[in-house]
Amino acid sequence: MYRPVYTITNSILREVGNIDAAKAIIDASPLLPAGERRFQNDALVRSVHHGTHLEGNELNIAEAKRVIEGEQIVGRPRDVQEIINYRNVIDHIGKTKHDLDEELLLTLHRLTAENILKEDMIGTYRGSEVVVRNSKTGEVSFRPPPAVEVPYLVRDFLRWLNEDLKTHPIIKAGIAHYELVKIHPFVDGNGRVARAFTAALLYNQHYDTRRFFSLEEHYDRDAASYYGALQAVYKDDLTPWLKYFCEGLAIEFMRVKQKVMKISRDLKFQHVIGGQVYLNNRQIKIIEYIQEHGFMQNSAFKAVFPDISDDTVLRELKDLVKKGIIKKRGRTKASRYVLA
């Protein structure tokens, strides 16, 4: 039976601790629903773009966003289809908790490869030998096991994944990522499937950070380090890969924590009103402006909201004052609005 080999180093232990600490703050943050949707949409675009760009997709992030939003763009048909497919993958794993089994693995590949591979290659294990290449350099990264071994290796690994109850979810996620890339179950799309399966595992264990994070961006920004970490595994010792994986996840969780705290003011809003803060998009924008500049005056209304009237902005400000989130200093048009 499959048994992972690795050592929990001080570095890995520290990063897992950082992840858990950031997760606690993110989960407890009184973020507003409109703000959450914006963060989630941003993470979706980054995940889809970087997750496909890492595999050689040539569309930039603005083009990917337009495709996600249903617009027509000029680009290679395969690139456009990859964006559509990976968006469907992320939607699928985010809808509900999934069993971490072969059915999920094959479904993720089916969604990833739809209208890209031949029908008999979609959602089915590869029947031929392949090599893994760095999409940036073209160099052979490693040679996966023979095709005949794939079903056995996948089932053996998934059996361990589901029966093991002692390993920390972050470590299990890192192991899953590596093993699926190593086994390389499919003809194409293995990287995207491995990362999506890893995300599903994290979501199952409540490490979804409210759907704000994108590990794909971390990998894509330094693809050489990503591929290098995968290649650093020697004699099946996963320690160097787990060190890289935990560092990357910690960086992303800390980034999300900082974004969340920027809006929630380190939970102070919750203390002001005693619970969840409900604001609309204009009110979020006002808070962000005040956080950046220290205050807001009437003279800034047009720069921040060029398409709405001053009276509308004033109504939003009054509502924020009523909720105890900001306060007004002064009584003339030169008065300032600051955080309470």
Model confidence over 126-135: pLDDT tens digits? 999 888 776 6
CA–CA gap between residue 278 and residue 29 (Å, rounded): 13
Q: What is the DSSP letter of 298?
A: G
The CATH class that applies to domain 10-264 reads mainly alpha
pLDDT of 275 above 70 = no
Whether residue 35 is predicted with pLDDT greater than 80 in this model: the reply is no
Tell me: pLDDT of 323 over 90.
no
According to the model, what pLDDT value does residue 265 have? 55
Euclidean distance between CA atoms 124 and 147, whole angstroms: 12
pLDDT computed for residue 266 by the predictor: 38
Domain boundaries defined on the chain: 10-264, 279-339
3-state helix/strand/coil string of 203-227:
HHCCCCHHHCCCHHHHHHHCHHHHH
Query: What predicted TM-score, i.e. pTM, was given to this entire model?
Result: 0.78
Reply yes or no on whether the pLDDT at 5 is more than 50: yes
| Position 38 confidence tier, pLDDT thresholds 50, 70, 90 | confident
Token pair, residue 131, equals 């090599």
Pick the range with the lowest mean pLDDT from 131-140, 210-219, 313-322: 131-140
Across all residues in the chain, what is the average pLDDT? 89
Cα–Cα dist 240/228, whole Å: 10
Is the pLDDT score of 292 beyond 80? no
Write down the pLDDT at residue 332: 74
Q: Which of the 8 DSSP states describes residue 237?
A: B
Assigned token pair, 210 = 């409210």
Burial class (CB in 10 A: 0-12, 13-18, 19+), 232: middle
pLDDT in tens, 223-243: 989 989 998 998 899 999 999
Do residues 84 and 69 touch, judged by C-beta distance below 8 A? no
Distance from C-alpha of 318 to C-alpha of 298, rounded to nearest angstrom:
13
Residue 211 has pLDDT above 60, yes or no: yes
From the candidate CATH numbers 1.10.10.10, 2.60.120.260, 1.10.240.10, 3.40.640.10, the one assigned to the domain spanning 279-339: 1.10.10.10
Torsion sign (Cα): 320, 324, 330, 331: positive
The answer to whether 185 and 154 have CB atoms below 8 angstroms apart is: yes
Give, to the nearest 10 degrees, the angle between helix 102-113 and helix 77-95: 150
Helices and strands (H, E) in the chain, number of each type = 15, 4
Token readout for 49 is 């773009």
